[in-house]
Structure 1
Amino acid sequence: MESQDLRKVGLKVTHPRVRILGILEDADGKHLTAEDIYRELLSHQDDIGLATVYRVLTQFEAAGLVLKHNFEGGQAVYELDRGKHHDHMVDIESGKVIEFTSEEIERLQKEIADKHGYVLEEHSLVLYVRPKKKR
């Protein structure tokens, strides 16, 4: 994504938007909190406040550039919307978020909806997990 992507979704190209978009791109699939983004900006001496980070993330979400997740027991986290569906596992001990895809789970969800007389339009699946105990 680049500055032109901001224009495509109707957002003006501003320094805060470009910097925050860059941080999300560099996250390489990692889910970031607004505070994570703010700390990254501070580490590069960017004079962008936390309130601005939240405002830009809200704008990005409304424009369809980012997805916001509110996993139980944690802060809201953000990721770029790359258009590919995936589900999540959240490690309840560390808070780590793991993305995964499963054709079998997708098929089963459609079958379940169909069996009850529905067509699956959209879904979100989050598994809350804990590391296995070593024996």
Structure 2
Amino acid sequence: MSARELEHALRDAGVRITRQRSAILRILAEADDHPDANELYSRASALEPTVSLSTVYRTLSILEDKGVVHRLTFEGAPARFETADTPHHDHMIDLETGDVIEFRSDKIEKLQAEIAAELGYDIVYHKLELYGRRKARNQAGRLGA
């Protein structure tokens, strides 16, 4: 989602677009990770030093209410954010680094649909979060047990 599209969502909510909000929107639109509010604040402050953390939180709240940003709450970590225009995907959370890796598996999607059908349901929405640690590698570079 572009910064301009995020800006339109704010304008539709009656919010004035300031230099501070423009910086936040630009960072959010260009993020290729899942930044939390503090990370957004830090990145936006580099572009616009007058950005406040409260402006970041208010802006994210409005964007979330408008449905253009998703709040991701992973166990043991602050909420992270991503734009809502990305295709469906699931997340692997590295417990050591906090990294969030997006992935998609047709096998998992098919299995979930089969389970839901067996229980008499159609899936309307779902999310999958896997939490793990990288396997150790031996000296030859192969994964260890």
Q: Please report the TM-score for the alignment, with normalisation by the length of structure 2.
A: 0.85
Letter in 2 for 1:76: A
Structure 2 unmatched ranges of 5 or more: 139-145
Identity of aligned residues (%): 39
Question: Matches of residues 38-53 of structure 1 in structure 2 within 5 Å?
Answer: 38-53=41-56
Structure 1 unmatched ranges of 5 or more: none
- Paired residues in the alignment total 134
Deviations 1:64-90 (A, max 9, x none): 111111100111000111141100000
Question: Which is higher, the Rg of structure 1 or of structure 2?
Answer: 2
Choose which of 10, 25, 28 in structure 1 pairs with 2:29.
25
- Report the Cα offset of residue 13 of structure 1: 4.8
Deviations 1:4-30 (A, max 9, x none): 5533561345123322111012212x0
Residue in 2 that maps onto 1:91:
94
Is the contact made by 2:7 and 2:25 (CA closer than 8 Å) also made in structure 1? no
Is the contact made by 1:41 and 1:47 (CA closer than 8 Å) also made in structure 2? no
State the secondary structure of the residue aligned to 1:98.
strand
Partners in 1 of 2:46 and 2:3 — Cα distance?
Answer: 22
Q: Please report the TM-score for the alignment, with normalisation by the length of structure 1.
A: 0.90
Residue in 2 that maps onto 1:76:
79
What is the RMSD of the two structures over their aligned residues, measured on CA atoms? 1.6
Is the contact made by 1:3 and 1:13 (CA closer than 8 Å) also made in structure 2? no
Residues 42/134 of structure 1: CA separation in 2 closer, same or farther (3 Å cut): same
Choose which of 47, 67, 70 in structure 2 pairs with 1:67.
70
Ranges of 4+ aligned residues in structure 1 off by more than 4 Å: none
